[in-house]
Structure 1
Amino acid sequence: MIRRLFKRKSHDPDSKLGKVLEKYHIPKEYFAINRRMVSRGVLVGLFWGFIPMPFQMLAVIFTTPLLRFNVPIAISMVWLSNPLTMPAMYYMEYKTGNLFLGLPGLENVELSIEWFKHHLEDIFLPLYVGTAFYSIIISYLVYLLINRLWVLSVHREKHRKEQERRQRKEMIISPKETL
C-alpha cells in the first residue's frame, strides 16, 4: 500500500514531490520503495544515528551518492537518536565500550557540563568503542533482518495470490461438475 501510494505521488510530475525532484535534479531512485533501497536506507540511517555527532542528517545526505539508498527512510532512522533517546543510547554505548575494553567505568556521574569536560578523556574511548559496535554490528543486523522480512513478505503475498487463483479456478470448475 505504501509503495503504491508513493509511486503514485512521486511519478506524478505535477505533485509537490515531483516538482521538487525535478527542480533540484534529485534522482527519483533516492525515494524508491524497494527492498534494496529501503534496507540500505535503514542501514545508513542507523549507522549515523548511533554515532554521537552533530548534523547526522547531513552525514546521511553526503553518503547518498556513494551508497544509493532511500533518503527519507535513512533520515527517519537517524531521528531514532533524538534528545529523548540520546542519554540512554550514549550511556549504553559507553557501558558496552567499557565492557569491551575491560574498564570499570566512572562512578558518581553528574549531569553537568563541567563534569563532562573534566572526565572527557575517560569517557571518549569507551563511548566510541561502544558506538563502533552499535553503528556497525547492530545496523548491519537490522539491514539483514529487513531484507529477510521483505523477502518473506513477498513470498507470502505470492503464495496468497496463488491460493486465491486456485480457489477461483476451483469455484469455476466445481459448479460444472455438480451438474
Structure 2
Amino acid sequence: MPRRLLQRYLPHPETLRRQRSLRCVSHLTDTPSLWLLSRRSVANACFVGLFSALLPIPFQMLVAAGGAWLVRCNLPLSVGLVWITNPLTMPLIYYGNYRLGAWLLDAPVRAAPERLSTQWVAEQLLDILPALMTGSVVAAVVVGLAGNLIIRLLWRWQVSRSWKRRARRRRQRHASRDEARGSDPERA
C-alpha cells in the first residue's frame, strides 16, 4: 500500500518537534492533517511541492510549508518535493521554464554566453525575468496538476489491486476449506 511506503521514508512528527531549529514553528506543525497520509493529502502535497519547486524564488521550502499548512496536506512530502530543483537540476529546469515563457510570450530567446557569470545574469535579468516567471508559473501549474492526478490514479490503482488480491486469497481459503470438508468422511 502506498501509505506504508511513504511512512517508511517520511520523518515522524515527534522527530521534527525535537529539532532545535524548528522549535519556533513547532506549534504550527501540531495539526494532525499535516501528517496524514491519505490519497487526498499526498496528492495535494505533490501539487504544492512541485509547484513550489518550479518557481524561481528563494525560500522555496518555506513556500511549500506554507502551502501545505494552507491546503492542509502532508507537510514533509510537500517540503521534500522542493528538492527536485537542487543545484544540479536548477539550471536545466529554469532554462526550460525560460524557453517556455519566451515561447508563450512570443519573445526572442537570449543566447547564453560561453561563460555564465553572475554579472551576465544581473545585466540580463530585467530582460529575461518576464519570460522566466511566465514559463515557471505555467510549468509549475501543469506539472503540479499532473503530479496530483498521477498520485491519485496510482493510489486508486494500488488500493484496487490490493482489494482484488485479498478477495482472491479469501476465495482460495474458502475453496480449500470447502474441499477439506468435502473429502473428510466423518463430516459428510
- Scaled by the length of structure 2, the TM-score of the pair is 0.82
**Structure 2: runs of 5 or more not aligned:** none
Deviation at 1:49, TM superposition (A): 0.5
2:182 is the alignment partner of 1:171: no
2:40 is the alignment partner of 1:36: yes
Within-5 A mapping of 1:109-128:
109=113, 110-128=115-133
- Match of residue 86 from structure 2: 82
Equivalent of 2:152 in 142, 147, 153: 147
Count of residues paired in the alignment: 173
Structure-2 change in CA distance of 1:108 and 1:132 (3 Å): closer
Q: Distance in 2 between matches of 1:84 and 1:18?
A: 27
The runs of at least 4 consecutive aligned structure 1 residues that moved more than 3 Å come to 1-7, 15-20
Which of 108-117 and 81-90 deviates more?
108-117
- Match of residue 66 from structure 1: 70
Deviation at 1:34, TM superposition (A): 1.1
Provide Cα deviations, 1:77-122, integer angstroms capped at 9, x if missing partner. 1111111110000001011111112223012434111111111122
Structure-2 change in CA distance of 1:108 and 1:17 (3 Å): closer
Q: Distance in 2 between matches of 1:139 and 1:78?
A: 11
**Structure 1: runs of 5 or more not aligned:** none
Structure-2 change in CA distance of 1:53 and 1:108 (3 Å): closer
- Match of residue 17 from structure 1: 15
- The letter of the residue matching 1:33 is L
Q: Describe the SS at the equivalent of 2:49.
A: helix
- Aligned-residue identity in percent: 32
Q: Of the two structures, which has the highest relative contact order with CA contacts closer than 8 Å and spacing of 6 or more? A: 2
Structure-2 change in CA distance of 1:108 and 1:37 (3 Å): closer
Deviation at 1:32, TM superposition (A): 1.1
- Scaled by the length of structure 1, the TM-score of the pair is 0.86
Q: Distance in 2 between matches of 1:4 and 1:44?
A: 21
